[in-house]
Amino acid sequence: MNSAVIVFPASNCDRDAADALAKVTGKPSRMVWHGDASVPDDIDLIVLPGGFSYGDYLRTGAMAAHSPIMKDVVRRAKAGTPVLGICNGFQILCEAGLLPGVLMRNANLKFVCRPVPLVVEETQSMYTRNYAKGEAITVPVAHGEGNYFADEETLDQLEGEGRVAFRYVDNPNGSARNIAGILSENRRILGLMPHPERVCDPLTGGTDGKRLFEALL
């Protein structure tokens, strides 16, 4: 599997994502700069990593969503290329219109950085098929704007179509219906606020995130 990690100004989890992918694929990811015009043609997976792209000015992910590279990311996503957005990457996916809803300031207005328990809600996707439905896992979060919001109609649609991938056990940010991650309609795009790339090695706190990347193989 050939993967590309998009690097924005102030991305700070791009190398973590690349390292996690290398652990399971045995090959390095292409690091693609936000100002590039296109993603390499042979890429099977695009990752939008965590961080603070463009300093989180305007709204988190808003400026990154209009980076030159995002035109090609959107084009590739609509053509079926899998796209994984982690934390800031989730925010960018929502701002780019590839996923519904928006990520707002945490309800307590404080930055949250700690491991959190999650429940796997949906296993019928290329990202989650290595988990059991209802399984409890622990994955860290690190964000100030992880409060997922969408109107009730959209939330009902996500629930009804089985597109809520992960849910918080103890909601750390006020997200609607405890949502921690969602899938696109074609289930080839996943956005989530927790960081699975940070739990791919026992030395860094666990391996609950590794199965997500292994599932992509």
Contacting residues for 129 by C-beta, under 8 A, at least 6 apart = 123, 215
- Catalytic, 122? Answer no
Compute CA distances 18 → 1, 14, 55, 138, 169, whole Å: 13, 6, 22, 21, 28
Instruction: Report the C-alpha gap between 36 and 99 in whole angstroms.
Output: 23
- E strand or H helix at 4, and its extent? strand 3-7
- Catalytic, 87? Answer yes
Annotated catalytic residue within 13, 87, 94, 200: 87
- Catalytic, 195? Answer yes
Instruction: Report the C-alpha gap between 124 and 128 in whole angstroms.
Output: 7
The alpha carbon dihedral of 107, 54, 138, 94 has a sign of positive
Instruction: Report the C-alpha gap between 214 and 201 in whole angstroms.
Output: 13
Annotated catalytic residue within 95, 145, 195, 200: 195
Annotated catalytic residue within 34, 95, 197, 200: 197
Q: State the catalytic residues.
A: 87, 195, 197
